[in-house]
Copies of this chain bind each other. A is one copy, B any other.
Amino acid sequence: MKQQRLSDQIAEKLEAMIADGSLMPGEKLPAERDLAHRLEVSRPSLREAIQKMNSKGLLTTRHGGGTYVCEESLEPSFVSPLIALLSDMPESRYDVLEIRHALEGTAAYYAALRSTGEDKEKIKRCFDVMIKNHGSPDPMDEARADAAFHLSIVEASHNVVLLHVMRGLFTLLQSSISHNLDKLYTLPRVFEPLSNQHERLMNATVEGDAERARQAAQEHLVFVEESLQQIDREEVRKQRALRGLTG
């Protein structure tokens, strides 16, 4: 019937890259000249596309600074109102874990079925980074590496909606990590089994054994949940001891 404007095609391509996760929220786009050359279009055409996405709220541009994928408006709509809530009631962390328990099994299952060679390499890379970051001075580094590993598996499931949901959940978790979650990464007796679980999950996924992958993910989450509960219980005991001393 008709041919689309070039700027529309460009915008569409960029939007698809955002939707399928190739472009992360907050990520910086290549420079206009660079990107125009790589997409084999002129700079004005690329600019028109960027302007359009800009007015849609998908990109933000700072003069001399660069163009970025907008993160606020791309946040899954459920996270922002929840962040405040989550820091007020720490027990809702278990709510997040319940959801992960349900979702990560499915993610691992489909990742085992659908992952490409590229996906598998990324999963292995994330695993290595996670191992390397153990014992880092900042526990957040380890938490981020952990999240990146799990998200690489979600990405390999090739379910774009799932990817955005899980990203939102991890954002949610990391924004409230200061409570107790960081302890999970520092306790030595926890790290060993955690690492083994991660390895089993990775192996089952890259080998394409869907059922084993789902199983591994679920066992992992059960362990995390139990460990957290234990940490919380110890925390409560410590608080009580302190109150005993002061009162």
Q: Count A interface residues, CB 8 Å.
A: 56
A56 at the B interface (CB under 8 A) = yes
A169 contacts across to B, CB distance below 8 A: 161, 165
Complex alpha-carbon distance, A89 and B159, angstroms? 12
Known A168-B76, A171-B77; contact A99-B18, beta-carbon cutoff 8 A: no
Q: Which stretch, A46-54, A131-139, A144-152, touches the partner chain B?
A: A46-54
A31-39, A101-109, A232-240: which one contacts chain B? A101-109
A57 CA / B77 CA spacing, docked (Å): 13
A160-B86 contact in complex given A51-B7, A51-B52, C-beta closer than 8 Å: yes
A74 in the interface, Cβ–Cβ < 8 Å? yes
Q: Within residues 56 to 86 of chain A, which ones have a CB less than 8 A from any CB in chain B?
A: 56-58, 63, 70, 73-78, 80-86
C-alpha gap A95/B101 in the complex (Å)? 18
Inter-subunit contact A160/B106 (CB<8 Å): no
With A161-B92, A161-B99, A162-B95 as known contacts, state yes or no: A76 contacts B81, CB within 8 Å. Answer: no
Cα distance, A159 to B106, chains bound together (Å): 19
Pick the residue among B18, B82, B110, B160 that contacts A161 (CB under 8 A). Answer: B82
- Does A167 touch B at the CB level, under 8 Å? yes
For the complex, give the distance between the alpha carbons of A48 and B57 in Å.
15
Within 8 A of B (CB), among A153-170: 159-162, 164-165, 167-169
Which residue in B5, B48, B160 is a CB contact (below 8 Å) of A48? Answer: B48
Q: How far apart sit A63 and B99, CA to CA, in the bound complex (Å)?
A: 40
Q: Which of A44, A55, A80 has the most CB of B within 10 A?
A: A55
**Which chain B residues lie closer than 8 Å to A111 at the CB level?**
none
Query: Are A160 and B95 touching (Cβ within 8 A)?
Result: yes
The distance from the CB of A186 to the nearest CB of chain B, in whole angstroms, is 25
CA–CA, A98 and B88, complex, Å: 30
A15 interfacial by beta-carbon distance below 8 Å:
yes
A168 to B101, CA, bound (A): 19
Q: Is there contact, CB below 8 Å, between A161 and B47?
A: no
Closest CB pairs A-B (n = 3): A78-B164, A95-B161, A102-B106
Give residues in A with beta carbon < 8 Å to B. 3, 5, 7, 15-16, 18-19, 44, 47-48, 51-52, 54-58, 63, 70, 73-78, 80-86, 88-89, 92, 95-96, 98-99, 101-103, 105-106, 110, 159-162, 164-165, 167-169, 171-172
